[in-house]
Copies of this chain bind each other. A is one copy, B any other.
Amino acid sequence: QMPRGNLETVHHRALVLAQIRKWLNSCLYREAFECMRKLRINLNLLYDHNPQAFLDNVDLFVRQIDSVNYINLFLTEIKEEDVTTTMYPTHSASSVPSAQKSGAKKVDIICDVMRAAMEKLNPQKYCLSILTSYVRKTAPELETALQKVHELRESPPSPDAVSAEEALKYLLFLVDVNELYDHSLGTYDFDLVIMVAEKSQKDPKEYLPFLNKLKKMETNYQRYTIDKHLKRYKKALEHLSKCGPEHFIEFLNFVKDQNLYTEALKLHPVGSSEYKAINDVYGEHLYSRQHFEQAGLAFARCGSLEKALDAFVACSSWQHIVSIASQLKYSEDKMAALARSVSGKLREQRKYESAAVLLEQYAKDYEEAIILLIEGGLWEDCLRLIYKYNRPDIIETNVKPGIIEAKKNYMTFLEMQKVTFIRYKERLSVVRDLKEKARQGLLDDEIPGGLESDLFSDTSSVMTTSDMSGRYSHSNSRISSRSSKNRRKAERKKYSLKEGSPLEDVALLEALREIVRTVDTMRSDVNSLLKVLVLFLYDTDARELQQMYQEFLQLMEVSIQDIWVPCAPPNATLPVLGPHSTANSIMTSYQQQRNLKTAEQETEPFIAPKLSKTIQWKLDLLD
């Protein structure tokens, strides 16, 4: 008989729902409620049917229902779910706008308006329902509920009102006793705590000593202890900060233990001694996490200059280093030694300009500074120092050989890049042809397979970018910093340049793009080398370099249109410039592309790189 009964119910329910909707539209809440309760219709419908109407008539609702039990039932059954779309969908487009503005949750909205209505009508009568409305909130307001119970005990409003005892029992029925105990502790109200504790299964020998100990404490320290016990560390910190200087050591330890440095800083006036002490421990924390620069700042803020210096040295923040060393009144010798050591580190990081400033101005070692600038290819700075310190001899001994060396390195580098560029470009055209043939072959059903293996048959070997750029890392000029960057970049590549790999063409596009980018960004470096070559009368070398670079740039410019498809707005069959079509093509592709989001990062190799044609690097002098 079950199936038959079920079918009956289903059929029945459609009619019932129609009736309930009628009642709700006429604000006959009592009728609707009774019917829904009997036939187990989800009570959320009372609200979901027309949220705005419910909110407008909540007083009427409470008055009609007129039952603490019913209201508790309703509040307990409320969920975020909208049953008009899930359980009881209607096909008539009622389109009642949702009342949920400002991101507030349905449950919270209902609890709050119901409570307000009940408080207005009869707070004593609806006492338990009001408690329910606190407990049911998405973030249950247990403290407030407990406070209500406490009020009942302190000043019972009338003999027929709900007793504190009853209210607490009801709360314990809704909420786990341990949770309620913790929250009662969180009100810092010991009467309340004991009231709850008595209702619990807890052993008074356990909680009474603890409560007695707490009672003896100074208020802020007491609250800190409770918060800490409840793991409310931020609140605990706040209370502890009010306990005065005698607890400051404990405060600092607590900050360290709980990693609450930024919160701690906010609790003390900027510039106070406590503020400084917190910065100091924060600095140590940041240092241990290897956030050296921020550690340095934290130490510097609190005047821990030695520690700040250590931290700044660890991250080679050279300006801070010498600033702090000056504040520490370093002797000239000590400063020179420091500058020399930091300069060495900066040199390793190829920060030649800063390294040279340190040597020149803090170690007073002009010669070494000049040699560093030569190593870094910073010719103009290097000449400036040579003439500033009247050391023209260095021009013959170091600058000229340095220039010639740099020019050779540039030539070799450009030559290698060019060879690779041409090889990749040719290989790309081979791969494209093969794939096109394979496609046609598959379409014609003539060549059933084996064409893919043709991709392996071409024996011209393709070096990977990382192989190639690795060769230059011995050089000291600017090029090597670039090529070591390339190497790191190459290691991140997603596609394989290995012959016959399925996306070899994409890998080739990527590699070609990288070469174009690298060579294109050399414009100003080449220009600066050309100028110094010309200044020292190395016209032939300069002309060679200018021609080599010029030809390579031209080769790239001509090749770009063969290698890269111009990336028009997708859906390029629509005219691009018509007044309507642009928005349409965007819209269309937009919708098409939504699901292709993962393809987004794959597009970069397909976009033609742009040459920085506006940068003037050539010297007319050499034409």
**A interface residue numbers (CB < 8 A to B):** 261-262, 265-266, 270-271, 275, 282, 286, 291, 293-294, 297-298, 300-301, 317, 319-320, 322-324, 326-327, 361, 380-381, 383-384, 386-388, 390, 431-432, 435-436, 438-439, 442, 452, 502-503, 505-506, 531, 534-535, 537, 539, 561, 565-570, 572-573, 576-577, 579-580, 582-584, 586-587, 589-590, 592-593, 596-597, 599-600, 602-603, 606-608, 619-623
A282 and B534 alpha carbons, distance in the complex (Å): 13
Tell me the minimal C-beta distance from A445 to chain B in angstroms.
15
Task: Note all chain B residues with C-beta closer than 8 A to A535.
Answer: 297, 300-301
CB-contact partner of A565 in B270, B435, B565, B593, under 8 A:
B593
Q: Quick check: A323 and B384 within 8 Å, CB to CB?
A: yes
Task: Note all chain B residues with C-beta closer than 8 A to A569.
Answer: 565, 567, 602-603, 606
How often does this chain occur in the complex, in copies? 2
Q: Quick check: A387 and B599 within 8 Å, CB to CB?
A: no
Q: Quick check: A602 and B583 within 8 Å, CB to CB?
A: no
A436 and chain B: residue at smallest CB distance = B587
Task: Note all chain B residues with C-beta closer than 8 A to A579.
Answer: 452, 502-503
CB-defined A-B contacts under 8 Å, sample of 29: A262-B622, A270-B537, A282-B621, A297-B531, A297-B534, A297-B621, A317-B380, A319-B383, A320-B383, A326-B387, A431-B583, A432-B586, A435-B587, A436-B583, A436-B587, A439-B583, A503-B579, A561-B597, A565-B569, A565-B589, A567-B570, A567-B607, A568-B593, A568-B602, A570-B570, A572-B596, A572-B599, A577-B602, A600-B608
Q: Quick check: B271 and A537 within 8 Å, CB to CB?
A: yes
Q: Quick check: B607 and A566 within 8 Å, CB to CB?
A: no
Task: Note all chain B residues with C-beta closer than 8 A to A568.
Answer: 570, 589, 593, 596, 599-600, 602-603
Q: Quick check: A291 and B620 within 8 Å, CB to CB?
A: yes
Q: Quick check: B592 and A572 within 8 Å, CB to CB?
A: yes
A582 and B439 alpha carbons, distance in the complex (Å): 11
Q: Which of A326, A380, A381 gathers most chain B CB within 10 Å?
A: A326
CB-contact partner of A320 in B327, B380, B590, B597, under 8 A:
B380
List of 7 A-B pairs having minimum Cβ-Cβ separation, nearest first: A435-B583, A326-B387, A502-B579, A319-B380, A566-B600, A319-B384, A323-B387
